[in-house]
């Protein structure tokens, strides 16, 4: 079995029984990345508890419209961060969070980053990697930008040469 098959199998395993799926009632923090429009939205809820005078993550849950890999990584992440302090959880990269799945194919690295982003947005909302207001136009924006609304449509016949 090659590594791609291996990866697919591990993702399939992970999504058969995703852990901690859905909104967490009484959550102390919520973080969202992406948007539903992009099909890449991922939201995480986190609840804390005190253990030996330390504030640690009691439970984390997630909801996503992302792909299967995002579901698999998010499910793993909610388990991995349980019992950790905010500082400890923030040291985990997308790579750490997806480690149990093995190396991610290039197209799927983004899915793990989505999970890392949602976690950061929940645990350290003031610290964001890239200022979303200062982005270069994305493919999605180009696709959704007002499509020549102000322009007038001048119909001609097919035989007529158009510029």
Partner 1 sequence: MGELLREYPGAQRALFRAYHIGGCSSCGFSPSETLRAVCVRNENLPVDEVIDTILAGHEADQKMEISPKEVAERLQAGEQIPLIDVRSREEWDAVHIPGSIFFTQELMQQILREWPKEREFVFYCHHGFRSLDAASFFAGHGFRNAHTMTGGIDAWSVGVDPELPRYRLE
Residues that bind partner 1 (CB under 8 A): 33-40, 65, 67, 94-95, 104, 106-110, 112-114, 117, 129-132, 134-136, 138-143, 146-149, 151-160, 162-163
Q: What is the DSSP code string of 10-49?
A: HHHHHHHS-SSBS--TT-SEEEEES-GGGT--EEEEEEEE
Cβ closest to partner 1, residue 81 vs residue 104: 104
Give the nearest distance from C-beta 59 to partner 1 in angstroms. Answer: 24
Residue 24 is inside which H or E element, if any?
none
Cβ closest to partner 1, residue 6 vs residue 37: 37
- How many Å apart are CA 24 and CA 21, to the nearest integer? 9
CB 70 within 8 A of CB 11: no
Give the nearest distance from C-beta 89 to partner 1 in angstroms. Answer: 19
The DSSP letter of residue 38 is: G
Tell which residue, 13, 16, 42, has the closest CA to residue 117: 42
Token pair for residue 18?
Answer: 């995703």
Q: Any idea which residues carry the catalytic annotation?
A: 38, 111
Give the nearest distance from C-beta 21 to partner 1 in angstroms. Answer: 16
Cβ closest to partner 1, residue 78 vs residue 120: 120
């Amino acid at each position: 079995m090659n590594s791609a098959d291996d990866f697919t199998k591990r993702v399939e395993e992970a999504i058969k029984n995703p852990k901690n799926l859905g909104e967490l009632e009484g959550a102390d923090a919520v973080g969202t990345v992406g948007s539903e429009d992009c099909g890449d939205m991922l939201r995480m809820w986190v609840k804390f508890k005190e253990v030996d005078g330390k504030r640690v993550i009691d439970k984390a849950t997630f909801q996503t419209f992302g792909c299967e890999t995002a579901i698999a990584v998010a499910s793993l992440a909610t388990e991995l961060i349980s019992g950790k302090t905010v500082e400890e959880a923030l040291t985990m990269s997308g790579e750490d969070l997806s480690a149990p799945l093995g190396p991610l194919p290039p197209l799927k690295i983004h899915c793990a980053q989505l999970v890392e982003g949602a976690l950061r947005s929940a645990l350290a909302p003031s610290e964001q990697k890239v200022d979303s207001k200062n982005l270069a136009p994305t493919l999605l924006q180009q696709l959704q930008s007002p499509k020549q609304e102000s322009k007038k449509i001048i119909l001609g016949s097919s035989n007529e040469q158009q510029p």
